[in-house]
Chain A
Amino acid sequence: MQQSLDRPLPAPITPEAEPYWEGLRNGKLMLPSCEKCGPFFYPRVLCPTCHSRDISWIEASGKATLYSFEIAHQSLNPNFKVPPPYVLALVELDEGPRLLTNLVDVEPDPAALKCDMPLEVVFERLTDAITIPQFRPVGAKASGGGA
């Protein structure tokens, strides 16, 4: 597996998800979207609601809320070397779909985190090929830290 400094890089990149990763390289959060039902995630060849094959891509606003979270105190993956504690998050994009991600620019402390709090996307470039979307509380100051 190709390694960045401290994270296992996404692998394999499936053909259906190429536009997602290409968008991230260009600082855009792109979502597959059914012409009738709107955006969904993860990328696949049919709409999981109406099963239409008429899928295009839209750029998401980057606005989200915190659907749920955890605080990792140890890594269970030997290839993940970001020092704990860090926040593991399930965020709900304003467009509807949910993503697993990290929160940054916030203390990894349950007292600082509340489900449904508003978030905004930040892009973390790992390699030339891979940029990942992470989220921070709206109004948070960039600390350069976090996971």
Chain B
Amino acid sequence: MRELSNAACIVGAAESDEIGTLPDKSPLSLHLEAIANAVDDAGLTINEVDGVFTAGQYTPASIGEALGITPRYVDGTYVGGCSFMILVGHALAALHHGLCDVAVVSHGESGRSRVGGPRARDQSLNGQFDFVYGFYGAPTYFGLIATRHMHEHGTTLEDWAQVAVSTRAWACLNPRAKFRDPITVADVLNSRPVCYPFNRFNICLVTDAGGAVVLTRPDRARDLKKPPVFVRGAGEGTEHVLMTQMKDLTFSQATRIAGEKAFRMADVGPADFDHVMLYDAFTAGPPIMLESLGFAPPGEGVAFFADGRSAPGGSLPTNTNGGGLSYTHTGMYGIFPIVESVRQLRGECGPRQVPDVGLSLVNGMGGMLSAAGTLVLANEA
């Protein structure tokens, strides 16, 4: 496994031309814009792409077809929003073995405008055992995790609110973020109740957007347009899909498994990171990820947000793009934290740039902490 460490680099990263509310763009257009922009960011051409990796509404064959290329390696692993972190790990392995030479991982989703119809995914078990009670959509499930965490660890509504406040402080520095006004804990507690323990500001945006990253092997990466970002470690894991099957709601086994694998591949630990991206569909997600990844003992992940370590100027800058909570969240958010990590490692982030980022963690979840993908990214091998 260690031989995969640094075997490939991210050489291009981009969003679609616009993100936000885009009723005139199909999700396929969002894919294609993001791929074109990411390939251009790398200084490559679409005709050089021979590996296509995507998750969701479109198969890799559809993306290849739309690009007018005939890829020789494809992967459509689809386990929710962290699929894109996992696909970067799969691209790393494929590149290492010469199964492709230039890999694209892409996402496009009309989460807000719903152009192009619903995504097809089997929900027969949810349809049989959940929906009759009023469960439906992520905000009716994730709160179960937060309520149990509050019971076992004494976590409070104020603690969860701190995650939204810290993340918004970063969004204020990102001109592409949807919400750019500072908020307080009181603002979160007074926002519209949706599903206790979560109010509106505990829950991510719903937007239309695409994103993509391009990877190739280091020998080629060094000659391209931008400084390469090395994939030093990658890991994945899954535990459950249905909430009845998650053994301990306060701790994500999938995240632990993914993180341990990525850290072992990269030969790093939690203390080594300069910058962190944690998939924030809900405010309870990032603290529980920090606990499950070993950054904090169970129950103490919220302290990173309450004491300012996560915020601008803090010692562990977290979700510096403004996160799913304030920047953008299409439904499967995972490509966007990867793009932000690449930009931070290159030093491209302007007012929100964290000084001297050498090592960055990207951790994603699929479903309700059901699946996880972890990446360790670095600006040198």
**Which A residues fall within an 8 A CB radius of B?**
7-14, 17, 41-42, 67-77, 79-80, 82, 86, 88, 90, 97-102, 110, 114-116, 126, 130, 132, 134, 147
Contact = CB atoms under 8 A, between A and B. Distances in A.
Interface stretch (B30-38, B121-129, B310-318, B320-328): B121-129
A70 B243 CA distance: 13
Nearest to A134: B133
Contact of A74 (B127, B128, B144, B194): B194
Given A71-B195, A75-B136, 18 more contacts: A10-B132, A11-B127, A14-B128, A17-B128, A41-B244, A42-B128, A70-B143, A70-B196, A70-B197, A72-B196, A74-B194, A74-B195, A75-B134, A76-B136, A77-B131, A100-B129, A100-B130, A100-B135
B249 interface: yes
Contacts of B147: 68-70, 115
A28 B99 CA distance: 56
A42 B195 contact: no
Nearest to B136: A77
7 contacts: A9-B132, A14-B124, A72-B134, A76-B139, A102-B134, A115-B152, A147-B134
A113 B147 CA distance: 11
Contacts of A110: 196-197
A99 B136 contact: no
A68 to B, nearest CB: 4
A137 to B, nearest CB: 16
Contacts, number: 115
A7 B243 CA distance: 20
A88 B151 contact: no
A86 B134 contact: yes
A8 B148 contact: no
A10 B129 contact: yes
A9 B253 CA distance: 32
B65 to A, nearest CB: 32
Query: Which applies to chain A's interface (DSSP): helix, strand, loop or mixed?
Result: loop
B148 A101 contact: no
A115 B132 CA distance: 22
A72 B195 contact: yes
B137 interface: yes
A116 B123 CA distance: 29
Nearest to B242: A42
A8 B137 CA distance: 14
Interface in B144-165: 144-145, 147-148, 151-152
Interface in B210-248: 242-244
Nearest to A108: B196
Given A70-B197, A115-B151, A80 B134 contact: yes
A105 to B, nearest CB: 15
Nearest 3 pairs between A and B by C-beta?
A77-B136, A115-B151, A71-B196
A90 B129 contact: no
Nearest to A9: B132
A99 B244 contact: yes
Contact of B151 (A68, A80, A98): A68
A13 B128 contact: yes
Nearest to A92: B244
Given A13-B128, A14-B128, A115-B151, A82 B134 contact: yes
